[in-house]
Amino acid sequence: MMKDAGAGGRDRPGLSRERVLRKALELADRDGIAALSIRSLAQELGTKPMTLYYYVANKDQILDGLVDLVFIEIATPEAGGEWKEQMRRRAHSAREALRRHPWAVGLLESRKAPGPATLKHHEATLGTLRAAGFTVQQTARAYSLLDSYIYGFALQEAALPIAGSEPMAEVAGPIMERFATGEYPHMVEIATQVVMQPGYDYGNEFAYGLELILDALEPAPADQEP
């Protein structure tokens, strides 16, 4: 059997691995990664479950593909420009991508097969650092440090129930009741004086840590201990 254009699904000018992954991305963003099943994905594509396995070996490959799609969205640094500015751009871009797709952070832990976009992104970043005068060792360390911060921040951001409008306030509220007993004074302090302030957005704190790290990183000599 072969139902090409316009048989089952409405606008389906031929399935493809690309289309499957794109729809998976859309579904993950809309309903969360937990709701992304082969069956729901197939239905959304106007197909039957087993059809997807023609384009994808298994669900793990879909998840791998999702992570790679997210990496596509991250600005690639160039070897030419000011390295700090390049790293800044990359970091902010990465954080924004991971905030658009919070589930991607949790996925990173279990992925073992980096996709082409991921590899290209890493390669470009390493290249920028090397071109700026970092030694191989320094590059590895700087990269590890920057990426750790980016991923870690994204992880914490993802762990906060974001919902739609008010980022905080309704999150801290219910928890607060539990320990109105004064058991956690410092957390209450932070919550009331920082987090629950009207215009507060945790995402803005990202720049603080990033600049602190960038200020401390320098290519040339530095670490004498190899």
110: contact with DNA by CB under 7 A: no
51: contact with DNA by CB under 7 A: yes
The Cα 226–Cα 216 span in angstroms is 18
141: contact with its own copies by CB under 8 A: yes
Our CA angle for 54, 55, 56, nearest 5°, is 100
Burial of residue 165 (CB within 10 Å: 0-12, 13-18, 19+) is exposed
40: contact with DNA by CB under 7 A: yes
Window of 40-48, 157-165, 178-186, 209-217 that interacts with DNA by CB under 7 A: 40-48
CB of 37 vs its own copies, minimal distance in Å: 16
37: contact with its own copies by CB under 8 A: no
Nearer to its own copies, 41 or 206 (CB): 206
Nearer to DNA, 41 or 126 (CB): 41
Nearer to DNA, 14 or 164 (CB): 14
162: contact with its own copies by CB under 8 A: no
148: contact with its own copies by CB under 8 A: yes
145: contact with its own copies by CB under 8 A: yes
2: contact with DNA by CB under 7 A: yes
Residues engaged in binding DNA (CB under 7 A): 1-4, 7-8, 14-15, 36-40, 47-51, 53-55, 58-60
